[in-house]
């Protein structure tokens, strides 16, 4: 990476699950460098959803390197996730026609509930997992899937953990790490955020700031997706032998379907 940037640059790993992100420093100047980042980075940058994209270069081996402004800021704390700013940012993302158009133009198929169920069935067979609680959760998802109704497809981030929200020194808010984004029901993002970070008595107010009404349909859809995501987390951790995380998510699943 230093050879690619030129002399005088110092490059350090910036963390992250993929190991493809770096902090590049040249004197007081800093960049966030990533290899093969989301192809939608330009649109996300133009709309102020991620830190400003400075340049993109393709290497001889086909890899694409992107450089973004390095944000001098911090991650949001869990307690800050129920703020109006997160509601407005998520609404901006879900209502971005430019972002949705780009996702659809390159052939992204919407992630529909039946597809999620199919993926989980494949995981259960692949990992040979037998678990009564998971079976109970799957039965719930199968019985409820036909009652979810219709909904608008939007671009969903799919991993809105508070660690992926950054606020800079000017209080500008960003949502980073778009590698897992897809087109889906907005209730997928909304359910994960509200169930994880916002007390239920405050859901109506938070959603009012986001721009929708909390009705029976939205409640049902959010709950469905949270159950599905919780089962997916159990399967992921079980396949890797993470017993403590499996126990934690099983406990949570039992509260969701009790």
Among the listed residues 159, 177, 185, 189, the single catalytic one is 159
159 catalytically annotated: yes
Instruction: To the nearest 10°, report the CA torsion of 218, 120, 157, 222.
Output: 10
3-state secondary structure of 62: coil
Structure tokens at 236: 């992921």
The CB density around residue 37, as the number of other CB atoms within 10 Å, is 24
Encode 119-157: b = buried (16+ Cβ within 10 Å), e = exposed: ebeebbeeeeeebeebeebbebbeeeeeebeeeebbbbb
* Residue 57 to residue 67: CA distance in whole angstroms: 9
Distance (Å, rounded) from C-alpha 15 to C-alpha 205? 35
The answer to whether the beta carbons of residues 250 and 137 sit under 8 Å apart is no
Under 8 Å between Cβ of 42 and 53: yes
The CA distance from 131 to 137, in Å, is 10
The residue ranges of DSSP E strands in 38-157, in sequence order, are: 53-58, 64-69, 73-75, 154-156
DSSP annotation of 82: G
Catalytic residues: 159
């Amino acid at each position: 990476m230093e050879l690619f940037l030129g002399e005088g640059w110092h490059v350090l790993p910036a963390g992250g699950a993929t190991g493809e992100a770096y902090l590049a420093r040249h004197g007081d100047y800093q960049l966030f460098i990533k290899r093969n980042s989301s192809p939608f980075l330009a649109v996300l940058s133009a709309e102020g959803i991620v830190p400003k994209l400075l340049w993109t270069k393709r290497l001889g081996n086909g890899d694409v390197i992107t450089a973004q402004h390095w944000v001098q800021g911090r991650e949001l704390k869990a307690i800050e996730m129920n703020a109006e700013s997160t509601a407005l940012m998520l609404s901006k993302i879900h209502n971005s026609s430019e972002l949705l158009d780009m996702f659809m133009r390159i052939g992204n198929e919407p992630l529909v509930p039946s597809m999620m169920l199919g993926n989980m069935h494949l995981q259960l067979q692949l990992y040979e997992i037998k678990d009564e609680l998971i079976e109970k959760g799957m039965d719930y998802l199968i019985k409820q899937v036909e009652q979810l109704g219709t909904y608008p497809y939007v671009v969903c981030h799919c991993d809105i953990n508070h660690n992926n929200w950054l606020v800079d020194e000017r209080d500008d808010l960003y949502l980073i790490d778009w590698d897992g984004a897809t087109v889906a029901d907005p209730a997928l993002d909304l359910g994960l955020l509200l169930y994880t970070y916002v007390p239920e008595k405050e859901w109506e107010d938070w959603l009012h700031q986001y721009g929708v009404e909390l009705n029976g349909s939205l409640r049902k859809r959010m709950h469905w997706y949270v159950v599905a995501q919780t089962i997916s987390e159990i399967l992921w951790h079980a396949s890797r032998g993470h017993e403590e995380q499996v126990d934690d998510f099983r406990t949570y699943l039992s509260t969701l379907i009790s």
